[in-house]
Amino acid sequence: MQRTSLIDKELQDKVLSDQGLTFSEKILSLKRSDEPGKIALASEIMVAKVDLAMAHDGTAPLAIKVLGELGIKRVWDSSKVILHIDHTYPASSEHIANFHSIMRKFAKDQGCYIQEGNICHQYMLEHFVVPGMLVIGADSHTTTQGSLGAFATGVGSTEIAAVWASGKIWLKVPDSVKVVFDGRLPLGVYAKDLILFTIGKISSEGANYKAIEFTGSTVKDLSIDSRATLCNMSIEAGAKTGIVEADSVTKEYLTSLGREVLVDVHGGKEAIYDKVVEEDVEHMEPYVALPHSVDNVKAVREVEGIPIDQAFLGSCTNARLEDFLIAMKMLKGRKIKKGVRFIVTPASKSVYEEVLKKGIMDVLLEAGALITAPTCGACVGTHCGVLGAGEVCISSSNRNFIGRMGSSESKVYLASPATVVASAIEGVIADPRDYLR
């Protein structure tokens, strides 16, 4: 046992100090199980040990079924399997309630962790993930966890079942794209605008099966809330994962939650990147992704005045405390435009509690907002804000595909929480800067 620990320490020191490896190559080298000790280089297919494996009510029931069909009686490690009931919570129908029951029974039988009433990606940030982990989730936006310096990626229900059974996953080591943001964010420009701008520039396929490493002076100044937004939407450019390497901001966040860094991984200074995108943020402005593609991005001033029926402040992309602080500042003493439904969904119970404690909830309710329990509902078009035919919504969420939030005849525009709030006030897509001066 002592010798194994020594070898692991030697390997770790060797990998972490290698200036020619990207973040992904380093972390996957450390997790490698098929050829332990062999460096995992970009484009190579390898098998890795998983630190956390999660699924939610949209993916877990099928995974549980598959596990049974495979004849697997026990998951590999119940302490590393996490179930979330969040996509349609509370249940909107008997059909959904039955799915939830399947998950509760499975969690009880297996002894694995299950939580209800928090959006999975936010809850993982708050309670489980630390830098240096390999996190596999049965949801594409598992990439959110990269904001804490983890390698996090999404898979399907059948593959998460295999992970539950074995504790391992095969991966192609991704090439990496470095996105460098430098400069001070202008008034009304937030992390959501940065990622929308980037996806608009490189396209929704511009980082297919690649790791996006976000860096630069702007990123170093961003909170974990904002970094989570960047990593969350990396998948919308096709990325396998999105990464912000751990730094003092990460460590301060973890300390506040009683957690510590697992492995402090940083890309090498001589690492080779498939592409480097450099942007001075000081020229940027608020952006909007128009229907029906996330890369159909324009400046808000180009689309101002489009009438809306609904404004949604929620989802795993933007429903954290700093988003609600912005909303409070903009809505104080103002009202939502008559005829507009302003639906607000905190990302977790802890965010909800902070919104209550800081008096934000009072301001939102006074302005005319409808507050829901933490859930993915409106974002994925299952409940708490489903759109009807012909309706238009401006949303702080991550996708605007046809039928994403309900009717295939509805339209969804994506924007920052600030742009969503400004639009809710005016009843049309509006520039948030007028409410932030």
Cα-Cα-Cα-Cα torsion 387, 390, 396, 402, nearest 10 degrees, comes to 90
- Predicted confidence at residue 10, as pLDDT, reads 86
**Helices and strands in the chain: count of H runs, count of E runs:** 16, 18
Please state the rounded mean pLDDT for residues 387-406.
97
Domains 2-36+43-279 and 291-435 are alike in CATH topology:
yes
pLDDT category of residue 361 using cuts at 50, 70 and 90: very high
Contact in structure between 124 and 153 (CB atoms under 8 Å): no
Positions of E strands within 59-166 = 81-85, 113-116, 134-137, 151-154
Position 417 pLDDT exceeds 60: yes
- Predicted confidence at residue 272, as pLDDT, reads 94
Position 163 pLDDT exceeds 50: yes
The correct CATH number of 291-435 out of 3.40.50.1860, 3.40.50.720, 3.30.499.10, 3.40.50.2300 is 3.30.499.10
Q: pLDDT tens digits for 208-249? A: 999 999 999 999 999 999 999 999 999 999 999 999 999 999
Tokens 């902070």 belong to which residue? Answer: 354
pLDDT category of residue 437 using cuts at 50, 70 and 90: confident
Task: Locate the domains of the chain by residue range.
Answer: 2-36+43-279, 291-435
Position 6 pLDDT exceeds 50: no
Tokens of 208: 């297919």
CATH 3.30.499.10 for the 2-36+43-279 domain, yes or no? yes
pLDDT category of residue 7 using cuts at 50, 70 and 90: low
Q: pLDDT tens digits for 167-224? A: 999 999 999 999 999 999 999 999 999 999 999 999 999 999 999 999 999 999 999 9
- Predicted confidence at residue 9, as pLDDT, reads 82
